[in-house]
Chain A
C-alpha cells in the first residue's frame, strides 16, 4: 500500500516532463516569408559537428552557414529566401537517421550530409524511401554506388577510386611494389581498403600487410609493429584525425623510414597540428584547395578556390580546408538545381543528375545517370607535407 502511494508522487512529475517536452518540441521553426511574400525554401543538413569526425564537420557547418548568409543577402533562389537547418549527428549512425527523419517531417526539399561515410550510409535507406535528394560530404564510393539503388543520393568529395588511382600512380612512378595497408575500422576505412585492394591487384602491387584500428584508439604501435615486420616498401593509411595523427606520431617514434602515404581524410591543418611535427614527409592525394596558391593561374578552378579562401578567411579568421570545400559544392549544386526545378523534389533530383561543367572547389562536376559524383582523376593532386605545409608534388 505504501508503495502505491509513493508511486503517485511520480505521476505529476511525469506529466510535467511530458508537458515540457511538448512545449520544447512545439517550438520548431515556422517557415518565414520574406518581404516580397515568397515562401522560404527549406534545406536540411546533417553534419558530424561533435564526436570523432568533428574535425570534418565543424568547417562544413561554418561553410554552410556562410553560404546561406551570402545567398540570402543576394536575394535567395529566384526571390525565395533559403532556410537551412543544420543538425548534429554526433558522428553516429543512429543520430544521423533520427536527424534526417526529423528534417523530412519538417518538409525539407533536400538534405546535405553527413560528413563521414558511416552516418551517410545510414541515412540512405531513409532518403531513398522518402524520395528526398541527398548530397553526401563523405568519401566512400559505396555512398553513390550502385546508382540503381541510390537514385536520390549524390556526393561531392572525390570518390575513393579517384584518390586510390592517384596513390597507385605515385607508387608506380617510385617503383614501390610491396605495400602495407592500414585503415580505420569503419565505412571510410573499409571503402578505401576495398577500392585499393582491387586497384592494387590490377597494377601488380602486392599488399603484404593489412591492419585495422578503431577511431578512438590511442596507440597504433602494435599494428605498426606488424607492418614493420612485413617488409613493406610503403604504408598506405586510410583514416582521419585524431587517429591518423596518433598513427603518424607512432610511425615516426618507431623510426620507420619507408614512405607514409595517407588518404584525403587527413586534408586539414588539424592533422598536421595534432601530429606535432611528425606529419612532415607524409604524402597524400588531396583536392586543389589545399595548394590553391601553388597551382597554375590558368587552372579553371583557380578563381573559385581563391574566392572561397578569401570569403572564409575573412569570416572565420582561419584558412578553409577540403571538407568545407565539399560543403560549398554540395550547397551550390543544390542551389543550381532548385533554381531550375523549383520546390519539386523529383525535379531537383533530375536536375542534380544533369549537372554538367559545374566548376567547384573539389573539381569540375559532370554528373550522369551512371555517375552521381561526377569528378575525374584530374580533380586531385599529390602533395607532400613539408614544415607543416602542403607542397604540391609536380
Chain B
C-alpha cells in the first residue's frame, strides 16, 4: 500500500508540475499586464511543435530547447504587436476575449502546419525510470519539476525582491502613475508576451516527452493552468505553484484510490468552490490586496 501511495504521489507531482508551469505563466502575464491569457496553452503547443520539427531535421535536444523558446518568444511578441497592442485601452474583458481569439487562431495555425498527428519528443536524458521505495519515477518528471522550481524562483525573486518587478506590478494598478515614473506600459506588455511565449515553449518542450504533442491539447492545459492559478488567487506566484501541485496530486490520488473517471470533474469542482468561497485564493493572497 505504501508503495502504491508513493507511486501515486510521483504521478501527481509530475502532472502537478505541468499544471504549475501553466499556472505560473498565466499568473506572470496577469501580474504584468492585467490580462488573463487564455492562449497560454497554445503557446505551449506551438513551442512543442516547433521543437518536434527541429528534432525531425536532426538537431540535438540541447540546441532544440533554446531555439524553440526563442522562436516561440518571437511569436509571442509578434502576436502582442498585432493584437493586444492595437487594442490598448480596451477593457480587461475585451482583452480576455482577444486572447480567446488568439488561442483559436493559433490552434488553427498549428492544424494547418503540423496536421492532426500526435508527435512525441525525445526525453532530455536517456535511460529508464528511477526506482525509489519500489515506485517508479520517470527522469523527465524531475526535469519538469526542476523547470517549475527554476521558473518559480525566478519569478518570485523578480516580482517580490527587485525594484523592477515591483515597478512592473505597480504599472498594472496605475498606468498613468507608471508613465510618470518613466515606465512605458506598452514596452512592458510586449516583454510580457515575449516571456509568456518563451515560458510556454520551455514548458511544451519539457512536457512533450511525457504527454506527447497534438495540435489541440493546449485548451485543456490552459484550463488546468487557470485552475492552478485561480486556486492560488491569480496574482500570487507561489499560489500558482502550490495550486498546480495540489491539483495534480489530488487528481492522481482520486483516480488511483477512488475512480479514474472522476479526475476531470474534480478540477472543475475545485475551481467552482474556490471561485465561490475564496475568490482571493486559498493561500492568503489578501496580503497583496492591502498594498
Residues of A near any B CB (own CB < 8 A): 49-51, 54-55, 57-58, 185, 211-214, 216-219, 221-223, 225-226, 228-229, 241-242, 245-246, 252-255, 270, 273-274, 276
For A221, list chain B residues within 8 Å (CB): 7-8, 10-11, 14, 136, 252
* B260 sits at the interface (CB 8 A): yes
Task: Report how far A245 CA is from B122 CA in the complex, Å.
Answer: 14
Q: How far is the CB of B210 from chain A (nearest CB, A)?
A: 7
15 contacts between A and B (CB under 8 A): A49-B116, A50-B111, A50-B116, A55-B118, A211-B260, A212-B261, A214-B263, A218-B210, A219-B14, A219-B211, A222-B256, A225-B8, A229-B1, A252-B128, A274-B118
> Which B residues between 252 and 282 are near A, CB-CB below 8 angstroms?
252-253, 255-256, 259-261, 263-264
A219 B117 Cβ-Cβ under 8 A: no
Q: Which of B64-72, B76-84, B191-199, B213-221 contacts A (4 or more CB under 8 A)?
A: B213-221
Closest to B129 in A: A253
Task: Report how far A225 CA is from B128 CA in the complex, Å.
Answer: 18
Task: Report how far A218 CA is from B210 CA in the complex, Å.
Answer: 7
* B131 sits at the interface (CB 8 A): yes
Task: Report how far A51 CA is from B111 CA in the complex, Å.
Answer: 10
For B14, list chain A residues within 8 Å (CB): 219, 221
- If A216-B220, A222-B252 touch, whether A185 touches B212 (CB-CB below 8 Å) is no
For A54, list chain B residues within 8 Å (CB): 116-118
For B122, list chain A residues within 8 Å (CB): 276
For A185, list chain B residues within 8 Å (CB): 260-261
* B48 sits at the interface (CB 8 A): no
Q: How far is the CB of B207 from chain A (nearest CB, A)?
A: 8
B7 A254 Cβ-Cβ under 8 A: yes
A58 B15 Cβ-Cβ under 8 A: no
Residues of B near any A CB (own CB < 8 A): 1, 4, 7-8, 10-11, 14-15, 18, 111, 115-120, 122, 128-129, 131, 136, 138, 207, 210-212, 214, 216-217, 220, 252-253, 255-256, 259-261, 263-264
Task: Report how far A228 CA is from B1 CA in the complex, Å.
Answer: 11
For B216, list chain A residues within 8 Å (CB): 50-51
Task: Report how far A255 CA is from B135 CA in the complex, Å.
Answer: 9
A255 B131 Cβ-Cβ under 8 A: yes
- If A219-B11, A255-B129 touch, whether A58 touches B117 (CB-CB below 8 Å) is yes
- If A218-B211, A223-B260, A225-B256 touch, whether A270 touches B118 (CB-CB below 8 Å) is yes
Task: Report how far A184 CA is from B97 CA in the complex, Å.
Answer: 34
- If A214-B263, A254-B129 touch, whether A222 touches B120 (CB-CB below 8 Å) is no
A270 B117 Cβ-Cβ under 8 A: yes
Task: Report how far A270 CA is from B212 CA in the complex, Å.
Answer: 12
- If A185-B261, A246-B211 touch, whether A216 touches B256 (CB-CB below 8 Å) is no
Task: Report how far A219 CA is from B140 CA in the complex, Å.
Answer: 13
B11 A225 Cβ-Cβ under 8 A: yes
For B111, list chain A residues within 8 Å (CB): 50
Task: Report how far A245 CA is from B209 CA in the complex, Å.
Answer: 12
Closest to B121 in A: A276
A253 B256 Cβ-Cβ under 8 A: no
A254 B136 Cβ-Cβ under 8 A: yes
Task: Report how far A228 CA is from B212 CA in the complex, Å.
Answer: 24
For B211, list chain A residues within 8 Å (CB): 218-219, 246
Task: Report how far A390 CA is from B51 CA in the complex, Å.
Answer: 29
Closest to B138 in A: A253
Q: How far is the CB of B218 from chain A (nearest CB, A)?
A: 11
Task: Report how far A154 CA is from B79 CA in the complex, Å.
Answer: 48
Q: A219-B211, A225-B7 are in contact. List 6 more A-B contacts (CB 8 A).
A: A54-B117, A218-B207, A219-B14, A221-B10, A242-B212, A274-B212
* Max chain B C-beta neighbours (<10 A), residue from A214, A219, A241, A270: A219
Task: Report how far A273 CA is from B122 CA in the complex, Å.
Answer: 11
For B264, list chain A residues within 8 Å (CB): 214
For A255, list chain B residues within 8 Å (CB): 129, 131, 136
Task: Report how far A359 CA is from B11 CA in the complex, Å.
Answer: 47
- If A216-B220, A255-B131 touch, whether A226 touches B212 (CB-CB below 8 Å) is no
* Max chain A C-beta neighbours (<10 A), residue from B4, B131, B212: B212
* Max chain A C-beta neighbours (<10 A), residue from B11, B138, B259, B264: B11
Q: Which of B128, B212, B220, B263 contacts A246 (CB 8 A)?
A: B212
Q: How far is the CB of B274 from chain A (nearest CB, A)?
A: 23
Task: Report how far A57 CA is from B117 CA in the complex, Å.
Answer: 10
A51 B10 Cβ-Cβ under 8 A: no
Q: How far is the CB of A102 from chain B (nearest CB, A)?
A: 21
For A254, list chain B residues within 8 Å (CB): 7, 129, 136
Closest to A276 in B: B120
For A212, list chain B residues within 8 Å (CB): 259-261
For B207, list chain A residues within 8 Å (CB): 218
A222 B116 Cβ-Cβ under 8 A: no
Q: Which of A213, A218, A241, A273 contacts B260 (CB 8 A)?
A: A213
Q: How far is the CB of B187 from chain A (nearest CB, A)?
A: 34
Task: Report how far A216 CA is from B212 CA in the complex, Å.
Answer: 10
For B8, list chain A residues within 8 Å (CB): 221-222, 225
**What 5 pairs between A and B have smallest CB-CB spacing?**
A222-B256, A54-B116, A221-B11, A218-B211, A242-B118
